[in-house]
Structure 1
Amino acid sequence: MKILLLEDNKKLNAAIKKRLELKGHKVYNFEDGKEAYENITEGFSCFVLDINVPNIDGIKILKKIREYYKDVPVIIISATVELDIIKKSYDFGCNDYLKKPFFIDELEIKIEKLCKIKDEKIEFDNDSFFDYKSSTLIINNEKIRLTKKERLLINLFITKKDEVLTYSIIENYVWEGSFASIDSIRSLVRRLRKILKKEYIQTVVDTGYIFKVP
C-alpha cells in the first residue's frame, strides 16, 4: 500500500515509516506541510497527517485531499486537545483521529482497518486501464506515464465518470485554482484523447466533457 505520512517530529516520523515498511507498505514521509501538500496527487491509498507542522497545517492539507479524493482514508495524528480542531478534522473528512502520545501499534491497526483500496486498477475495457497505485495508464500492455495535469484530469474523469464536467470544474481541479483558458483545457483534453486512443471523452457542446466507458 502507498501511504503519505506527514509528521514533523523526526524520530516519530522515522519510527512510523520503519514500522509500516516492515509491513510491506511503501511510505512517502514528509516533515514539512508544503512538501506534503505538493505531493498529495501522487496516487496514495492512505494519508496519515499531523496537524501542527511547518508552512501548511494538516487541516488545510486534509481539505485539499478531499477536493481530489472523496474515499481515500485520512488518519489525523495530533497532540492537540482543542475540541474545535478535532471537530474541524472530522468536518473536513478525516476518517479517524489518534491523539499523541500513542503506540505505533494503534496507528497500524487503524491503517489496516481503514486504508484498503479495493481496486488499484480501474479498467476501461479489456486492454485499457488506469493503475491507481503507480498513477500510470496501461494501453495494450504499454505503460504510459502521464504529466501531472494529465494525471489530474484522468483522476477527475474516473471519479466523475458519466457526469458532465464543465470547463470551470476542470479548471479548478486540474489547474488547482489558477486560471486556465478554454483553449488550454481543450489542448489538455486532446492530448489525453490521443493517449487513450478510444473515444472515452465526449464533448458536451459549449459546456465541457463527459467520460464514458463501456
Structure 2
Amino acid sequence: MYKILLVEDDLILGDTIFDILESAGFEATWVKDGQKALDQTFITNYDLFLFDVNVPFINGFELLKDLRASGDITPAIFITARVDIDSFSRGFEIGADDYIKKPFEIEELIIRISAQIKKSFKTYNKNIVYKDLSFSIDKKEIFKDNQKIHITPTEFKLFELFIKNIGKMISKEEILYHVHSGDEGSEAALRVQISKLKKIGLEITNLRGVGYRCEQV
C-alpha cells in the first residue's frame, strides 16, 4: 500500500479524509500539527504528503519548505481554503505539486493523489513495462510473463526505488536509508536483495564504491 502523511488539525475533516484514504487502499498516517509531521518524516518514507496550510507549530508552507530544503522530493498536495494567487504562488514556489480546494469531492481527492503517485514513477500510465516485467502502479503488483511475482516488503521497496530511477545512479547510503526508513541497514543484506531483483529481471549494475544503477533497456 502507498503511504500517505496527512496533516490536518480539524478533527472532523481529518477523520473523514483519513477514512477516505484507508477505504481507497492507502496506508495513512494522520497528525494534527506540523512538528509531529516533521517528526514522522524521520521515521517513515511516505509516497505522498497531504498538508493543510493552517496547522499549529509549523504551518504547511514552512513544513514543506523545510522538507524540500532537506532534499525530500515526496509529492505534496496542499488541502486549503486559501484561493488567493499569492498563496497559490507561494505553495508552488516552495515545492507543492498540486492544490485541492476545500470543500472537495472524495473522487477529486483520490484522482489527484493517484495522478501524483503515477508522476513519481515518471509516467502517466497505470503500468510500467521493463523487459518482460510489468508493474501495476495502482495495485502495487509485479508480473513476469503474466505471472504475479511475490517478493518481500523490503525487496519491493528496493524494486520501486530502482523503477523510479531507471538509468540513474543511486548511492548505497540512499538505498539503505530508503529501504530501512532511515535506520541503518546491512550492506550484505542489500547485496542479497539486489541479487533477488536481478533474478526476476532487473538489470542492476554495481558501480563499485559508489552505488547501483538499474539500466535502461
Per the TM superposition, whether the score is higher than 0.5 is: yes
Structure 2 residue ranges without an equivalent (≥5): 119-123
Structure 1 position 130 matched with structure 2 position 132? no
Partner of 1:75: 77
Q: Which amino acid aligns with 2:189?
A: S
After superposition, give the CA deviation of every residue in 1:131-186 in whole Å (9 maximum; x if it has no partner): 333434334413324324x3332222122211222323324443455445xxx234
Q: 1:65-214, aligned counterparts within 5 Å?
A: 67=72, 69=74, 72=75, 74-78=76-80, 89-98=91-100, 102-105=102-105, 109=108, 112=111, 115-116=114-115, 117=118, 118-126=124-132, 128-140=133-145, 141-148=147-154, 150-180=155-185, 184-197=186-199, 198=201, 200-214=203-217
Shift of 1:211: 0.5
Q: Provide the TM-score with structure 1 as the length reference.
A: 0.63
Structure 1 residue ranges without an equivalent (≥5): none
> How many residues get paired?
198
Q: Provide the TM-score with structure 2 as the length reference.
A: 0.62
The DSSP-based 3-state class of the residue aligned with 1:162 is coil
Tell whether the 8 Å contact from 1:153 to 1:170 is kept in structure 2 after alignment: yes
Partner Cα separation in structure 1 for residue 57 and residue 142 of structure 2: 33
Q: 1:3 to 1:192 in 2, by over 3 A?
A: closer
Q: 1:8-87, aligned counterparts within 5 Å?
A: 8-16=9-17, 25-26=24-25, 28-32=27-31, 33-34=36-37, 37=41, 41=46, 47-51=49-53, 58=60, 60=63, 63=67, 67=72, 69=74, 72=75, 74-78=76-80
RMSD, aligned α-carbons: 4.4
